[in-house]
Amino acid sequence: MTPDSFNFLAGLVKVRSGIVLTADKGYMLETRLGPMLRREAIAGLDALALRLRGAKAEALTAEMVEALTTNESSFFRDGKPFEHLKKLLPRLAAARPPGQAIRIWSAACSSGQEAYSIAITAAELGAALSGRRVEILGTDLSKEMLERAREGIFTQFEVQRGLPVQMLVKHFKQEGTRWRITPELRAMVRWQSFNLLDDLRGLGRFDVVFCRNVLIYFDAPTKSRVLAALAGQVAADGVVYLGGAETVLGLTDRLVPAAGERGVYEPARQAARVG
């Protein structure tokens, strides 16, 4: 692939998704886009760049971007955020009027493990939520991942990663070698295709946002923009969870680290904000 083709393809991916592909990622393009190239009978990455420069390339462009997302996920990933959520939810429930649902957003939800881990956490709290409903929204750029998430079926390997066995038998039904989430938990989550670079305001306000292990793929200005937009959608007493390798420091002053917690951020109080 010529440097010109690489720059063009990487530029397209960045504009469409925020994902930054550094010059050493040529091999990744080759391996991840191989199946798509073969299916479309496109000779290689230079030929793909040529096709995408032309008209009527929208569907192919979207397909390329999706193929370049990293969709790694697992149940109760990193543990800590879900332990924190377990303590937070009863507090939020007590602070909300009866009849008002607690809204939680799994932004960049991939194949759904994060959103279902939230659903399990809420279901296990039961009476501690004083009858408050928990509504979970799972969104992702990848339509393929959303389909998988919506289906709610996981392999033995997937459920073995992070899901305690008593939760597995309680909240999933075995179907051959795979496990299907119960209809009750599935009904707690709504799935929607959504790009984090788009205007978040249409999604409404959330009490809790999980935006984990996606900002790592963005450059600093994009991270800043997304974090500031997220802060605008979170309730004043709500929180944003970020991944272990992600932070708000140096990126936005609209979210501040929660005292004594890693990966947990709260909306900054108006008066405390700089600038």
Ligand X SMILES: C[S@@+](CC[C@H](N)C(=O)[O-])C[C@H]1O[C@@H](n2cnc3c(N)ncnc32)[C@H](O)[C@@H]1O
Residue positions annotated with a catalytic role:
32, 140
Q: Using CB under 6 A, pick the residue from 134, 145, 185, 255 that binds ligand X.
A: 145
Q: Which of 61, 160, 182, 195 forms a contact with ligand X (CB under 6 A)?
A: 195
HEC secondary structure over the chain: CCHHHHHHHHHHHHHHHCCCCCHHHHHHHHHHHHHHHHHCCCCCHHHHHHHHHCCCCHHHHHHHHHHCCCCCCCCCCCCHHHHHHHHHHHHHHHHCCCCCCEEEEEECCCCCHHHHHHHHHHHHHHHHHCCCCEEEEEEECCHHHHHHHHHCEEEHHHHHCCCCHHHHHHHEEEECCEEEECHHHHCCEEEEECCCCCCHHHHCCEEEEEECCCHHHCCHHHHHHHHHHHHCCEEEEEEEEECCCCCCCCCCCCEEECCCCCCEEEECCHHHCCC
Question: Which of 40-48, 63-71, 117-125, 249-257 is the region at the interface with ligand X (rule: CB under 6 A)?
Answer: 63-71
Q: Does 196 interact with ligand X (rule: CB under 6 A)?
A: yes
Count of residues that bind ligand X according to CB under 6 A: 23
Is 213 a binding residue for ligand X by CB under 6 A? The answer is yes
Stretch that binds ligand X, among 53-61, 94-102, 150-158, 190-198 (CB under 6 A): 190-198
Give the per-residue contact string, 146-165, with ligand X (x = CB under 6 A; - = no). --------------------
Span of 69-77, 87-95, 201-209, 250-258 interacting with ligand X by CB under 6 A: 69-77
List interacting residues with ligand X (CB under 6 A): 17-19, 69-73, 77, 108, 110, 114, 140-142, 145, 195-197, 212-214, 243
